[in-house]
Structure 1
Amino acid sequence: MSRVGKKPVTVPSGIDVSLDGTCLVAKKGNLEKRLETYGRVNVNIEGADVVFDRSGEDKQSSAYWGTYRSLFNNIVIGLDQGYTKQLEINGVGYRASVAGKVLNLQLGHSHPIDFPIPEGLEITVEKNIITVKGTDKQAVGQAAAEIREFRPPEPYKGKGVKYTDEHIIRKAGKAAGK
């Protein structure tokens, strides 16, 4: 039995939730997010709470029950507060800047890297900190992971792109032998 699925999703004021067939729609102003449930779970809107229930008694229904509840909770949090990931650039000559809808990175390669900013995301650079903001948790995480992948942090000097809350385990360099 899903412990996640049992909890109702409390919708804050300012976000309108409606059920359109098998699609759950959350709106805030002119921003709209949709979650297609394909009839795998039963959804009930009870005042400010959205309650999910299994459509069957099989194992697959329990899996979808918790999954769709979590996905909808992420949509509500994204519309209400938004999601943010911060990356830190470490290294001599490593730089980043935003020009229009492109993030320009110079990470020690022979060429600069131009990363097109995905639709619906906002990327800002302040000194050596890159901030990725958006309402979609998956898109924010994916964009941050792709930026980090251009130059992952290395364990000897710590150079590269890392998350600000990430701890890099440093290795000792070569030891002088006899």
Structure 2
Amino acid sequence: MSRIAKNPIFIPDNVKIIINKQKIIVKGKNGILKILINPLIKIKINNKQLLFLPKRNNNNVWSYAGTSRSILNSMIIGVTKGFFKKLILFGIGYRVTLNKNILNLMLGYSHPIYYTLPEGIKADINQNEILLKGSNKQLLGQVAANIRSYRTPEPYKGKGIRYSYEKIKIKEIKKK
């Protein structure tokens, strides 16, 4: 049995949750998020709490309930507080600029890289730092991973795009 699914989610006052069969809509100050959950899961709202129960008592169904609970908890946090990811451009000549909704990345290639931010994701630029903000945790992580993939940190000098919390182990230069 999933211990995560057994914990209820407390619904803040400024969040509205609409349950229509298996479609759930979460509304808050940071936007609206929607999800379709597994039909084997039953969700009940009781005294400002979301409860997750399986329709059949089965280990697999309990794991689906735990996953659904985690996703909905992230959605509630996203529409109230929001999420952010910080990327750092580390290298000589690496620059980034923001024009409307398009990131212009200069990463040492012979051409600039243009990345259009999806709807719901905002970026703040401060010298060689990119601060991505959004209410959808999954989309925010995917955007950060896509931007990082243009120039992953290399192991000898550490040049590339890295997360703010990431530690790069620098290898010793190869000797003859």
TM range (shorter): over 0.9
The offset of 1:60, in angstroms, is 2.6
Where does residue 137 of structure 1 map in the other structure?
137
Structure 1, residues 100-130: CA drift from partner, whole Å, max 9, x if none? 1100000011110000111110012101110
Calculate the aligned-residue CA RMSD, in Å: 1.4
The offset of 1:38, in angstroms, is 4.2
TM-score (norm 1): 0.94
Where does residue 16 of structure 1 map in the other structure?
16
SS of the residue 2:115 aligns to: strand
Where does residue 76 of structure 1 map in the other structure?
76
| Native 8 Å contact 1:98 1:125 kept in 2 | yes
Matched AA of 1:5:
A
SS of the residue 1:156 aligns to: coil
| Native 8 Å contact 1:23 1:38 kept in 2 | no
Of stretches 68-77 and 13-22 in structure 1, the one that deviates more from structure 2 is 13-22
Q: Equivalents in 1 of 2:95, 2:143: separation in Å?
A: 18
Of stretches 10-19 and 71-80 in structure 1, the one that deviates more from structure 2 is 10-19
Structure 1 residues 66 and 30, CA gap change in structure 2 (3 angstroms): closer
Structure 1 residues 136 and 30, CA gap change in structure 2 (3 angstroms): closer
Matched AA of 1:87:
L
The offset of 1:30, in angstroms, is 8.3
After superposition, where does 1:3-82 map in structure 2 within 5 Å?
3-29=3-29, 31-82=31-82
| Native 8 Å contact 2:30 2:135 kept in 1 | no
Structure 1 residues 30 and 82, CA gap change in structure 2 (3 angstroms): closer
Matched AA of 2:32:
E
Q: What fraction of aligned residue pairs are identical, expressed as a percent?
A: 36
Unaligned stretches of 5+ residues in structure 2: none
Where does residue 171 of structure 1 map in the other structure?
171
SS of the residue 1:27 aligns to: strand
The offset of 1:29, in angstroms, is 4.9
The offset of 1:26, in angstroms, is 1.5
Matched AA of 1:163:
Y
Structure 1 residues 2 and 38, CA gap change in structure 2 (3 angstroms): closer
| Native 8 Å contact 2:83 2:136 kept in 1 | yes
Q: Equivalents in 2 of 1:29, 1:160: separation in Å?
A: 35
Q: Equivalents in 2 of 1:102, 1:172: separation in Å?
A: 37
| Native 8 Å contact 1:105 1:114 kept in 2 | yes
Unaligned stretches of 5+ residues in structure 1: none
TM-score (norm 2): 0.95
Matched, 1:89 2:97: no
